Chains A and B, each alone.
Chain A
């Protein structure tokens, strides 16, 4: 009995102490000019894919380069699973104080439309877009198709004979191949793999006719003369592949691909978002960040919060239409 009483007293003392503490910090933050003292502690950056992959590399390069532009460091945490759904959901449900930011990927606009996510794509507030990579139509170097036109002509004459490998059902590379089919009126046979690398391997082995993965995934094979890139689905030609035409040059109005950026929970105060936005803008300019992305053949594409929000809304709408047409919604 006595013990309980002491325990109760201790607890209440502790509680009062805690309230005192939080009140103290509250007054401190309201005393100074708003969010100028954000961040006061380390920021956690949730990466929805595993360590060692491309998304992880972007996150770590960003966190490293951001050191110069934020008073506190950024720590990268990989929360994997569900094809990105688990990490993105954790980021969306985090406390909206800016201390748990997310490295978001194109899956943010895809998974909710597939019916495979517990979040909506607007549950996260965009801060900055860091990167974008288009889909690239790539065939074997010993295939008869030298140009995109030849390839599409053959595919049109042989419906469902052209097998295109992608990184999984409902993945961005599946959607981009499907969009190409929609846009040109060609019927492809879509073959899903567990990620882009096995699809590229299968193309190399002659088991597929084409892949529509990112240029980064095929660049070493293209450089070695084993694969040929016929066209990229971006607005302009890529710096690293100057002689590969865009689809738009072939009169196909299609620009589709993956992107990565920073986002925070949707109720995060604007002043906190502004601090992160400003830091992101400067970080993308850092040579160390550019170097890592260049070496991995990942395209740098910076957009501020409103620009990134446009990308997400536009893509989400487009993917919804595609997914409905393809009947992929679960």
Chain B
């Protein structure tokens, strides 16, 4: 296997055009990812027809580059402008933007780049060496498992609520209510659509996300525009210290594992991976109080988790021919047009090509690391742009981005309404991320729950007789109850202390 891999590296370096296309893909991906509304999925889909005429390796590496760069690129604007370029970056925005406000944008960008690189590269290595073993895991996931995973995702609201748990829960519930709009996922009955075709498939969550995060922030800074800022936001250093590395590497490794695992599961993508990674990083962190206030650990967790998803999602795609997320669904088409049938036969019939592809993917990630670290100091200059210029530009990007998703003006309206709501949420200290998480996961929880019951003919046994489902359900219970148990424990301890003193 190693010789196939080294042969692959040689193959790539002897074909400069392939190398160039891979790097080009990464650059395009970073740009597409950084722009709100343009997601990695869209970038890959738009470049797909161009690859039809290319050599398989060249075309597929171009798309992989866009995929990897797109997932990473979302973090840049999330950190600098609170404008998540991709859904996965909504988790990064929580602490990334807090770091920027503290003047630590440079460090945050560096950490995001290094974490994305590490997460992505390790996940490709896992794909290379363990794909056939992990593949069958994907098939174990059916409706009850996906339901339990989505429920676990929703329980994360508890840890991303910021200062007030109650406000977080209110925001999350509001998000779940928004998620009920649209066609009933099982019977196809339109709910709360008011006869508007545009929201028949539900309130689209990317415009909501852009509105809640980016537009609301822009509205807020409109308000502050006339206040002449004495303190200019400084970018400080880009280099991270040894202490920082020591602090973030456990959360990078943990999130890489989680991200790869979530990537393998069909129907769960980088967005869920980023939020779950955030949650677990916080659970095991020694510095819990930093989370939400600007934690490098949190940025590292989200970014490594999201990028680790890429290698994970490729596992079922290449070994079974089933896509793990929306990007790999497009890549399935790319493989087939190249005459490569993904599935068990791919490794046997096209072993050389597959390992050349893997080598190329790692080169893509190395390119991403170099470009990211080099360009960070230029990206970060954005923070120094006066608000009077930056704010209108952000608003314009919000409009263009939400239009671009479906080429639909209605989505722009949704973005603006979400922006206004987001503005007042900020005023009254309600966190935005629980809403986004609930809109992403709400439909998944509902449809998988009902699908599971259809599969079992209405029998609820299906939720506790399957081991993966049971474990995930218990995990969500644990996540929900931890804050409460802790509180009780704390008060007990306090009263004991008091009694001792008495």
Interface residues of A (CB under 8 A from B): 50-54, 56-57, 60, 64, 77-83, 85-86, 89, 114, 116-118, 160, 163, 168-170, 189, 191-194, 197-198, 200-202, 204-208, 219-221, 223-224, 226, 292, 295-297, 328, 330
The 3 closest A-B pairs by CB, nearest first: A52-B45, A52-B330, A51-B45
26 sampled A-B residue pairs with Cβ under 8 A: A50-B45, A51-B42, A52-B329, A53-B329, A53-B330, A79-B406, A80-B406, A81-B198, A168-B188, A169-B184, A191-B451, A193-B451, A197-B322, A197-B329, A198-B266, A200-B322, A201-B322, A202-B143, A204-B320, A220-B336, A220-B342, A223-B343, A226-B344, A295-B339, A330-B189, A330-B190
A45 CB, nearest partner CB in chain B, Å: 13
Does A189 lie within 8 Å of B457, measured CB to CB? yes
Which residues in chain B, 171-216, are within 8 Å of chain A measured between CB atoms? 183-190, 197-198, 200-201, 204
**How many A-B residue contacts, CB cutoff 8 Å?**
144
Residue on A with the closest CB to B454?
Answer: A191
4 new A-B contacts, CB < 8 A, other than A117-B197, A226-B343, A295-B336, are: A52-B330, A78-B407, A80-B408, A226-B344
Which of A114, A160, A163, A220 is the one whose CB lies under 8 Å from B343?
A220
**A-contacting 9-mer, from B46-54, B105-113, B119-127, B363-371:** B46-54
A82–B339 CA distance with the chains assembled, in angstroms: 32
B345 interface residue (CB < 8 Å to A): yes
B455 interface residue (CB < 8 Å to A): yes
Which of A116, A191, A204 is the one whose CB lies under 8 Å from B455?
A191
Residue on A with the closest CB to B140?
Answer: A205
Which residues in chain B, 320-344, are within 8 Å of chain A measured between CB atoms? 320-323, 329-330, 333, 336-339, 341-344
- Which A residues are in CB contact (< 8 Å) with B187? 169
Does A51 lie within 8 Å of B455, measured CB to CB? no
B426 interface residue (CB < 8 Å to A): no
Does B198 lie within 8 Å of A86, measured CB to CB? yes
Residue on A with the closest CB to B452?
Answer: A207
Does A189 lie within 8 Å of B321, measured CB to CB? no
- Which B residues are in CB contact (< 8 Å) with A83? 183, 200-201
Query: Assuming the A-B contacts A51-B46, A198-B266, are A328 and B188 also in contact, with contact meaning beta carbons closer than 8 angstroms in the complex?
Result: yes
A114–B187 CA distance with the chains assembled, in angstroms: 11
Interface residues of B (CB under 8 A from A): 41-42, 44-46, 48-49, 52, 138-143, 183-190, 197-198, 200-201, 204, 266-267, 316, 320-323, 329-330, 333, 336-339, 341-345, 406-408, 447, 451, 454-455, 457
- Which A residues are in CB contact (< 8 Å) with B323? 197
A253–B48 CA distance with the chains assembled, in angstroms: 39
Query: Assuming the A-B contacts A81-B197, A192-B451, A205-B141, are A296 and B333 also in contact, with contact meaning beta carbons closer than 8 angstroms in the complex?
Result: yes
Does A192 lie within 8 Å of B49, measured CB to CB? no
B131 CB, nearest partner CB in chain A, Å: 15
Does A79 lie within 8 Å of B407, measured CB to CB? yes
- Which A residues are in CB contact (< 8 Å) with B48? 51-52, 57
Query: Assuming the A-B contacts A194-B447, A220-B321, A292-B337, are A81 and B188 also in contact, with contact meaning beta carbons closer than 8 angstroms in the complex?
Result: no
A164 CB, nearest partner CB in chain B, Å: 11
- Which B residues are in CB contact (< 8 Å) with A194? 185, 267, 447
Does A82 lie within 8 Å of B201, measured CB to CB? yes
